[in-house]
Amino acid sequence: MQQFDVVIIGASAAGVTAALTARRHYPEKSILVLRKEKQVPIPCGIPYAFGVVGTPEKNLIPADDLLTKNTITTSIGEVVTVDRIKREVELAGGERYGYQRLVIATGSHPVVPPIPGNDKKNIFAIQKDVPYMQSIIDALLVAKNLCIVGCGFIGVEIAEECKRRRPDLNVTIVEMLTHCLQLVYDEDFCTQAEASLKEQGISLLLDKKVRSFEGNGQVEKVSLADGDVIDADMVILGIGARPNNELAVKAGLESGPTNGIQVNRYLQTSDSSIFACGDCAEKVSFFDGKPSSLKLASIATMEARVAGANLFSVSRTTMGVIGVYSTVLGERAYAAAGLTASQAVEKGFDVVVGESESVNRHPGCMPGAKPLKVKLLFERASQIIIGGQVTGAKSGGELINTISACIHQRMTADAIATFQTGTHPALTASPIAYQLVNAAEVAIGAMKKEMKH
């Protein structure tokens, strides 16, 4: 049996990043990364494999390359048992590896809702698995009517990419909430996103529940709770994921309220020599510390950087998940960080909003000028930022990270309104019109006005 200082289970965003971080912080330690799949898809790239990228093989994490050039050992095989007493893992094939520290980064499974008929042919969930993704593409190439269930990020991105790949395909998204992307954006941003989708010929059925999938062996129709029936010879489910915690449960590790592997702020599980990070790990909100079911690759890598650094000497903490998202619909970027207005109200915040829109060039006749709108949310008494949303030019994909830094540092509206930003005619709005600082100023103006009345 081979002994390693560190054994990591999983080689997606969390596993690879945990390994690279461990290597950087513990140059002398031996590290083994075990993964069950031969090829590891880039999780956020999966929708694009269906469209602009073309094939799942072009959307892979170069795990072996990244790891071996950092003198990290990799091996393929499914871990079936963790023996916490002996500090060993055992693979399906019987091989065993000893560890001093173990990192579980087993990710998540797509949720398949218990809707009658969900086992019919041509109904797909998004498995992070190359052959399975290829089978989705094979079905896509001959489908006539695609029904996507769930209008979150995965749903809207897959809808767009399938339509890009097959402009003649009828694409319908069914969503039980009132708006697309409702868990991430305020209503004004949601309705804009809905307009983007409709412009591309994608049909939206909002506020609708699926009752059953109909068909003879293969899916043919989707029946809705209100009695409507949609033609659909292909269905993709994009309604979330659940933590893959089976191995941890079997090893006797605690699970948390959202069924993730329970971890502390250092990402240690209930066994302090075993860490968990990424989709499989339990999370709390950065804001109120309550359980959070957010699952994002960017959260997974943050957690992996905490876990990897803490393996032999605890130094980093995670204060919980902020939730930073971005996507592109049509040619317009949509990004968000922190709480939406309705989430903030639900958590008990008294919210003040500031918005600012301007083109991302100056003067506006500079080539490439596109509108870019920033919305910021503050807690009224402390003036601390608790959320932000951005839509418009693609540079918004980086601007949201400035907002995330502001949230992370609990900056006040005043601090954001006066912090120094770089601006340039060919890259950003003018310094007079710079959206981030102006949105903070607008919120301050709103607070001042209300204090007077």
Of residues 55 and 272, the one with the C-beta less far from its own copies: 55
Q: Which of 53, 91, 111, 353 binds its own copies (CB under 8 A)?
A: 53
Residues in 290-319 at the binding interface with its own copies, rule: CB under 8 A: 296-302, 305-306, 309, 315-316, 318
Is 184 a binding residue for its own copies by CB under 8 A? The answer is no
Which helix (DSSP H) or strand (DSSP E) does residue 80 occupy? strand 79-83
Task: Verify binding: residue 127, its own copies, rule CB under 8 A.
Answer: no
**Among the residue ranges 2-10, 107-115, 254-262, 406-414, the one whose residues contact its own copies (CB under 8 A):** 406-414
326 binds its own copies (CB under 8 A): yes
Q: Is 333 in the site for its own copies (CB under 8 A)?
A: yes
The piece of 73-81, 194-202, 237-245, 441-449 that touches its own copies (CB under 8 A) is: 441-449
Q: Are 299 and 130 in contact (CB under 8 A)?
A: no
- Please give the span between the terminal C-alpha atoms of the chain, in angstroms, as a whole number: 75
- When the beta carbons of 145 and 389 are compared against its own copies, the nearer one is 389
Token reading at 133: 């993704």
Can residue 48 be called a binding residue for its own copies (CB under 8 A)?
yes
In 351-412, which residue ranges form alpha helices assigned H by DSSP? 396-408
Q: Under the criterion CB under 8 A, does residue 9 sit at the interface with its own copies?
A: no
H-helix segments, 116-171: 130-142, 153-165
Contact 22, 29 (CB under 8 A): yes
Size of the site for its own copies (CB under 8 A): 92
In whole angstroms, the minimum distance from the beta carbon of 267 to its own copies comes to 11
Task: Verify binding: residue 421, its own copies, rule CB under 8 A.
Answer: yes
Q: DSSP letter string over 201-270? A: T-EEE-S--EEEEE-SSB--EEEETTS-EEE-SEEEE-S-EEE--HHHHHTT--B-TTSSBP--TT-B-S
142 is an interface residue for its own copies by CB under 8 A: no
Residues of this chain, 64-93, that bind its own copies according to CB under 8 A: 66
Q: Which residue has the tokens 């002994």?
A: 3
Q: In the numeric block, which tokens belong to residue 118?
A: 């969900």
Q: Cα–Cα distance between 383 and 299 in angstroms, integer?
A: 26
b/e per residue 128-144 (b: at least 16 CB within 10 A): bbbeebeebbebbeebe
Over the window 347 to 386, marking each residue x when it contacts its own copies by CB under 8 A and - when it does not, the resulting string is ---------------xx-xxxx------------------
Contacting range for its own copies; rule: CB under 8 A; set: 10-18, 77-85, 108-116, 345-353: 10-18
Residue 406 beta carbon to its own copies: minimum distance, rounded to whole angstroms = 6
Q: Minimum CB separation from its own copies for residue 16, in Å?
A: 6
Task: Name the nearest CA neighbour of 5 among 35, 36, 31, 33.
Answer: 31
Measured from the CB of residue 221, what is the shortest distance to its own copies in angstroms?
33
* 444's tokens: 């301050």
Place of tokens 């089976």: 246
CB nearer to its own copies: pick between 228 and 414: 414
Candidate list 24, 121, 144, 290; residue touching its own copies; CB under 8 A: 24
Nearer to its own copies, 235 or 417 (CB): 417
